[in-house]
């Protein structure tokens, strides 16, 4: 090959071998050392550059690994054919970043989100203390059980038995990174086949997740007791997704008789199962919590889903699923290869939070906090002419309000946004057919709002809904 | 109704309303108050029991919610029909727990797992300090970006650019709870359709995950440069999953020319994409890391997958995926509803670990640690007659060893287990067709083993493989 000038800078910049590598690479890429050319032997190159032979060997090795040169037995290193070389990426420096919207809606001061929780009363000091202690267990950095930490699953089983009458063993339980993930793997357990029925209206994220898996989705109307079982029977569905303790968004509590009908429906087919999403059953303000549907299931037909999103934090990304024994066995055989989706330290953190009684104390405290918020919101709404009905006020973190207004849902949401209020409509929850409401209906979440923000938000909403164009209907 | 005896214990046990509720519920469930029976009015019941009327109302409310009784307008509360009542679950106390095997293999003292990492040199003190600090940010408890924390994605983009030449913006990146989850949603992005090609042998968990999604899977043989692109072309696949930097399990490094061929393959079809799993590229012991395939992709055809499982901890459950701009847009439109699967505090923890330079220092240190372990293992293996070839020793956390032995892989693994050694075979990696190895081939992982355990493990393995029945072949 023709003479090659490599000027090394021994005292600065990258390692010597890398300087050699970089120079040769640039020459090859630039076509200045053509394809098929033989490079100087490592011995010769080392002598020319006054470096050790191993330094040159390292540079040649790197070039070989990356495919710039190739060794031929006994005759040295030759430059490869790079004629198909794709364009190199443009240097980073010249690249402008896109504006980062990420599809996130902008923050508003009065956000009545039904998904937000109260962060103010969280026992941070205790949480931090345990968090610090669990990190001492170095074991947790290198191991992880695919179903979830066994110690965690044990305490969770005990909790579910006492709080929800859910009867299960740790072997039936899977800890996962959110209900959405758990629904995904549940659908895989059923082979992404079959027909799944959901309530109309239902929880949209669950609908979207199931829709993506390729299963056939149908929705079934609800009456005041919950999903209509006769209609469900007619759909030919073999899976049904329900929220018996506190339906989202309606707030309906399914009474015992309807639960029995639903279980009887499941009992009629070998492959029929009920997915019970018990998302916010921790917060019930009148009477004690209603036992989970799973507790009445003697036949292994209920798949129970629960989450820490409302009881601890939505950003914790931690949920759990209890499978009937038969499905738990099928899971181990078919999907047992899946790794856990929750960090081992996070599981141990919540485990100890429960073991030491903090979780129960936290829930008791939060029941009081949320009840006070709910009572205050109901107080603020009292006597407002634009309220037709208030539903679902016994439990959860939001009210369902049917409104007397001449505005459409869309108009109302837009007008409210201009006043700094974020409202949540219900039209989107009806994926098929018309809304079951005769009036414009919104969800008013109170979990994340401070009392003064709630008061100001309702004051603004009141002004908006008593404007002449908004209350036309109630005037007529 | 006939006389009902409710004996209240005001000073002990549950709340009064609950005692009333429980007694009535038991009577109704026991059939002692039959269906259709009218309960005493709340006023009368309150008087009889000498409690406040609101206490009785609370009990009746609870019974109504659970469907035991129902109110009829103006005429009081009536017992519902419970004839379909399912058997109640047996009391917990009498239930024996199943033995908890969870399908986990038992622990052996000399485990040459290719998946284990070294936990001894992890900077726990720094990790704990940051972990404590991130918890102060209460914001993190109540919020979470669906793609992942934007600050985290920014630093991760910078890191990937500098370490792997990966060129991307935070909008193209999704943080997820492990590669398996990210592969699941990636397949959803493609509608669970199409044909996916994988290397033969390949990473089994990825194979299993993809297989479960319902896509059609094919495998393509490898030569010394990696996947055979001509054969890939013939499969008609539109997606290919490869590990160009360090193939698992073979350890092959794909040279530049083959990379160009692969990119050219992708360029030939509108819907062709390459999934680049860059699982352990951080650990390369000879020369500097080879740039990611993604860095050569000018056409938006490479989906880049990376993980913190080897660089920080497998139990952290944190991975990331970089989508080409076109697919990132499609993700936002089609799957933007998915919540993040990683806790916000964990993301911030790793974010700050990177921002403050600890991650880079940790990687540099670990490269030294792993190189020392690898060198020691190679030293232990030197001159052993039962070794035919050692492959993949330039990078990663395991060696691939072709053995001279008369034993089958299965026999070897079983014999080793009896000596306290866990070995990892390669037969399982060939899902179709025969192994590409002419000899029994095992993976020897060294990441998680201390040097003395490694020495004793190899000593025992040596004894085992030099027994007459084991080395028959090399004697012949």
What is the arithmetic mean of pLDDT over A183-208?
A: 91
Which of B287, B323, B336, B341 to mutate: most A Cβ within 10 Å?
B287
Average pLDDT over residues A215-225: 93
Question: Are the C-beta atoms of residues A318 and A283 closer than 8 Å to each other?
Answer: no
B10 vs A40 pLDDT, higher one? A40
Q: Which range (A134-138, A198-202, B263-267, B380-384) has the least confidence?
A: A134-138
Taking an 8 Å cut-off on Cβ atoms, the answer to whether B150 and A263 are in contact is no
Average pLDDT of chain B?
86
Local confidence band at B10 (pLDDT 50, 70, 90 cut-offs): confident
pLDDT value, residue B101: 43
Bridge-based pairing of strands A226-227 and A110-111 is: unpaired
Residue B64, CA distances (Å) to A223, A229, A391, B79 in order: 16, 20, 16, 9
For residue B329, what pLDDT is reported? Answer: 96
Tens-digit pLDDT profile for residues B369-380: 898 999 999 999
CA A473, distance to chain mean position in Å, is 40
For residue A298, the chain B residues in CB contact (below 8 A) are 86-89
**Token pair in block for residue A347:** 């599981």
pLDDT at B475: 41
Which of B80, B145, B287 lies closest to A257 in CB terms? B80
What's the confidence (pLDDT) of residue B150?
93
Q: Is the confidence at residue B367, as pLDDT, over 90?
A: no
CA nearest A403: which of A413, A395, A394? A413
pLDDT digits (tens, 9 = 90+) for A8-63: 877 777 788 888 888 888 888 777 787 888 888 888 888 888 888 888 888 888 78
Structure-model confidence comparison of residues A365 and B342, the more confident one: B342
* Tens digit of each residue's pLDDT (9 = 90 or more) over B205-225: 999 999 988 899 999 999 999
Among A303, A317, A332, residue whose Cα is nearest residue A147: A332
Contact A130, A356 (CB under 8 A): yes
Is A193 a residue whose pLDDT tops 90?
A: no
* B 4-43 → A contacts, CB under 8 A: 17-18, 21
Contact A84 B264 (CB under 8 A): yes
Contact A343 B339 (CB under 8 A): no
The C-alpha atoms of residue B93 and residue A448 are separated, in whole angstroms, by 39
In this predicted structure, what is the pLDDT of residue B44? 85
Count Cβ atoms below 10 Å from residue A430 Cβ, excluding itself: 16
Residue A192 contacts B, CB cutoff 8 Å: yes
pTM for this entry: 0.79
The answer to whether A286 faces chain B, any CB pair under 8 Å, is yes
Q: Do A140 and B92 touch (CB under 8 A)?
A: no
Summarize pLDDT for B135-148 with one digit per residue, the tens.
776 666 666 788 99
Check residue B30 and give its pLDDT: 74
| Nearest CB partner across the interface for B296, out of A86, A341, A448 | A86
Cross-strand bridge partners of residue A72: A76
pLDDT of residue B427: 86
Q: CA of B295: which chain A residue's CA is closest?
A: A89
Alpha-carbon gap, residue B272 to A419, rounded angstroms: 48
Q: Cβ B212–A188 below 8 Å, yes or no?
A: yes
User: What is the nearest CA distance from B194 to chain A, expressed in angstroms?
Assistant: 14
Give the model's pLDDT for residue A145: 83
Residues B101-111 have pLDDT tens digits of 444 466 888 99
Distance, in Å, from the CA atom of B184 to the CA atom of B181, rounded to the nearest integer, reads 5
Asked if A260 and B342 come within 8 Å (Cβ–Cβ), the reply is no
Going by their DSSP bridges, the two strands A398-403 and A387-391 should be labelled as antiparallel
A354's tokens: 């429960």
B145–A104: do the CB atoms touch at under 8 Å? Answer: yes
Structure tokens at A314: 């939505």
String of DSSP letters for B299-320:
SS-EEEEEESTTTT-GGG--EE
DSSP A466: T
A258 contacts in chain B (CB < 8 Å): 67
Q: What is the pLDDT of residue B97?
A: 43
How does residue A185 score in pLDDT terms, banded at 50, 70 and 90?
Answer: very high
Low-confidence winner among A124-128, A284-288, A350-354 (lowest mean pLDDT): A284-288
Given this model, what pLDDT does residue B231 score?
97
**Cα separation, A135 vs B181, whole angstroms:** 25
CA–CA min distance A362, chain B (Å) = 15
CB contact under 8 A, A132 and B128: yes
Residue B417 falls in which region: left (phi positive, over 0), alpha (psi -120 to 50) or beta: alpha
The pLDDT, as a whole number, for residue A90 is: 37
Cβ–Cβ gap A124/B138 under 8 Å: yes
Quick check: A80 and A70 in contact, CB under 8 A?
yes
**What per-residue confidence (pLDDT) applies to A47?**
85
DSSP single-letter state for residue A107: P
Cβ pair B252, B222 in contact under 8 A: yes
Orientation of helix A358-381 relative to helix A344-355, angle to 10°: 80
Starting at the edge strand found earlier in the chain, the sheet holding A239-242 runs A173-176, A319-322, A302-307, A273-277, A239-242, A195-200, A216-223, A226-227
In which band, very low, low, confident or very high, does the pLDDT at B303 lie, cut at 50, 70 and 90? very high
Cβ neighbourhood burial of A57 (10 Å; 0-12, 13-18, 19+)? middle
CB contact (8 A) between residue A104 and residue B297: no
What's CA B383's distance to the chain center, in Å? 38
Q: Name the band, by pLDDT with cuts 50, 70 and 90, for residue A469.
A: confident
- Looking at residue B11, the DSSP 8-state letter turns out to be T
Share of chain B residues as helix, strand and coil, in percent rounded to the nearest 5: 40, 15, 45
Window 146-165 of A: residues touching B by CB (8 A cutoff) are 146-147, 150, 161, 165
Question: What confidence tier does B100 reach under pLDDT thresholds 50, 70, 90?
Answer: very low
Q: Is the distance from CB of B56 to CB of B17 less than 8 angstroms?
A: yes
Does B47 contact chain A (CB < 8 Å)?
A: no
Q: In this predicted structure, what is the pLDDT of residue A143?
A: 64
Quick one: pLDDT at residue A66?
67
A106 or B50: which leads in pLDDT: B50
CB contact at 8 A, B257 and A82: yes
Task: Give the Cα separation of B29 and A455 in Å (integer).
Answer: 45
pLDDT at B452: 92
What tokens does A245 get?
């303790």
CA dihedral A410, A413, A416, A421 (to 10 degrees): -170
pLDDT in tens, B290-302: 899 999 999 999 9
Least confident of A190-204, A409-423, B1-15, B33-47: B1-15
| pLDDT (0 to 100) of residue B282 | 84
B239 and B192 in contact (C-beta within 8 Å)?
no
pLDDT score, position B92: 45
pLDDT in tens, A302-334: 999 999 999 998 889 999 999 999 999 999 999
Residue A103 confidence (pLDDT) above 50: no
Of B405, B376, B412, the closest CA to residue B393 belongs to B376
Residue A139 pLDDT greater than 80, yes or no: no
Q: What token pair was written down for A404?
A: 């007397």
Alpha carbon A258 to its chain centroid, in Å, reads 30
| pLDDT score recorded for residue A320 | 98
Q: Which helix (H) or strand (E) holds A252?
A: none
Q: How is residue A201 written in tokens?
A: 């209206």
Task: Convert the pLDDT of each residue in A148-183 to its tens digit.
Answer: 999 999 999 999 998 899 999 999 999 999 999 999
């Amino acid at each position: 090959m023709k003479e090659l000038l490599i000027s090394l800078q021994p005292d600065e910049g990258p390692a010597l071998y890398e300087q050699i590598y970089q120079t040769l690479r640039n020459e090859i890429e630039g076509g200045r050392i053509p394809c098929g050319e033989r490079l100087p032997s490592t011995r010769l190159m080392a002598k020319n550059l006054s470096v050790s032979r191993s330094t040159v060997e390292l540079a040649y090795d790197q070039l070989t690994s990356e495919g710039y040169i190739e060794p031929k037995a006994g005759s040295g290193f030759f430059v490869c054919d790079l004629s198909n070389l794709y364009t190199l990426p443009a240097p980073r420096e010249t690249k402008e970043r896109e504006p980062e919207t990420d599809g996130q809606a902008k923050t508003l001061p009065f956000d009545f989100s039904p998904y937000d929780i109260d962060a103010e009363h969280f026992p941070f000091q205790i949480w931090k203390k345990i968090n610090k202690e669990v990190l001492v267990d170095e074991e947790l950095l290198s191991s992880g059980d695919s179903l979830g930490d066994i110690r965690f699953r044990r305490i969770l089983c005990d909790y579910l038995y006492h709080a929800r009458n859910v009867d299960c063993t740790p072997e039936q339980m899977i800890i996962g990174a959110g209900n959405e993930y758990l629904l995904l793997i549940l659908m895989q357990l059923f082979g992404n086949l079959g027909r799944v029925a959901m309530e109309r209206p239902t929880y949209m994220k669950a609908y979207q997740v199931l829709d993506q898996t390729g299963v056939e989705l149908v929705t079934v109307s609800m009456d005041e007791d919950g999903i209509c079982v006769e209609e469900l029977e007619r759909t030919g569905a073999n899976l049904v997704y329900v929220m018996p303790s506190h339906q989202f968004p309606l707030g309906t509590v399914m009474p015992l008789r309807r639960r029995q009908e639903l279980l009887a429906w499941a009992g009629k087919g070998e492959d029929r199962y009920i997915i019970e999403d018990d998302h916010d059953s921790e917060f019930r303000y009148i009477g004690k919590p209603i036992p989970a549907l799973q507790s009445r299931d003697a036949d292994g037909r209920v798949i129970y889903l629960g989450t820490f999103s409302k009881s601890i934090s939505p950003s914790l990304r931690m949920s759990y699923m209890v499978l009937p024994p038969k499905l738990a066995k099928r899971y181990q055989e078919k999907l047992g290869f899946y790794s856990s989706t929750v960090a081992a330290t996070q599981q141990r953190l919540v485990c100890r939070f429960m073991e030491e009684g903090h979780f129960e104390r936290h829930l008791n405290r939060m029941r009081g906090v949320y009840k006070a918020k709910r009572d205050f919101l109901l107080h603020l709404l009292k006597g407002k002419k634009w309220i037709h009905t208030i539903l679902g006020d016994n439990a959860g973190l939001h009210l369902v309000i049917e409104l007397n207004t001449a505005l459409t849902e869309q108009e109302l949401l837009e007008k409210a946004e201009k006043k700094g209020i974020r409202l949540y409509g219900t039209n989107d929850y009806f994926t098929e057919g018309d809304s079951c409401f005769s009036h414009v209906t919104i969800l008013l979440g109170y979990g994340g709002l401070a009392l003064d923000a709630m008061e100001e938000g309702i004051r603004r909403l009141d002004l908006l809904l008593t404007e002449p164009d908004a209350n036309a209907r109630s005037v007529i």
